[in-house]
């Protein structure tokens, strides 16, 4: 789950990594697009992350053809879908309560690994759900 990615090339690189590790689906969350409160210029202009953009396609090295994507317009919406699907949420962040990646059991069949914005990281809501 990519929460508020800022750069298409970074998102493409994540898709490439997902493909390499056998991840079958990646979710993009675009908070604020409907409210006009997003921190990202492409969202503030009313456009979602263009999954067909040349930058994303080039940086994903065709992984975007093999990794399915879904788009959500709020973290709450994505969390609701994950809960319905029985997913285990793991957040990639550093907080005083963080557990080392090496101590977390990631062997579940339904894992949602959260990655935050390149500048602001994950939202408090995403962190608290993990």
Residue 42 and residue 53 in contact, taking contact as beta carbons nearer than 8 Å: no
**CA-based R_g, the chain, Å:** 14
DSSP sequence for 35-72? TT--SSHHHHTT----TT-HHHHHHHTTGGGTSEEEEE
Least-confidence region, from 4-8, 20-24, 87-91, 106-110: 4-8
What is the arithmetic mean of pLDDT over 108-121?
A: 90
Q: What digits encode the pLDDT tens for the residues 35-77? A: 555 555 544 444 555 555 555 555 555 666 678 889 898 999 9
Task: Say what the pTM is.
Answer: 0.79
- The pLDDT score that the predictor gives to residue 40 is 52
């Amino acid at each position: 789950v990519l929460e508020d990615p800022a750069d298409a090339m970074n998102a493409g690189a994540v898709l490439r990594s997902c493909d390499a590790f056998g991840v079958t689906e990646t979710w993009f969350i675009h908070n604020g697009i409907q409210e006009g409160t997003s921190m990202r210029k492409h969202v503030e202009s009313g456009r979602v992350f263009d999954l067909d953009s040349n930058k994303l396609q080039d940086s994903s090295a065709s992984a975007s053809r093999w990794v399915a994507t879904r788009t959500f317009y709020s973290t709450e919406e994505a969390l609701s879908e994950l809960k319905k699907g029985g997913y285990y949420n793991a957040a990639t962040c550093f907080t005083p309560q963080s557990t080392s990646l090496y101590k977390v059991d990631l062997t579940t069949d339904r894992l949602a690994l959260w990655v935050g914005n390149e500048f602001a990281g994950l939202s408090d809501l995403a962190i608290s759900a993990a």
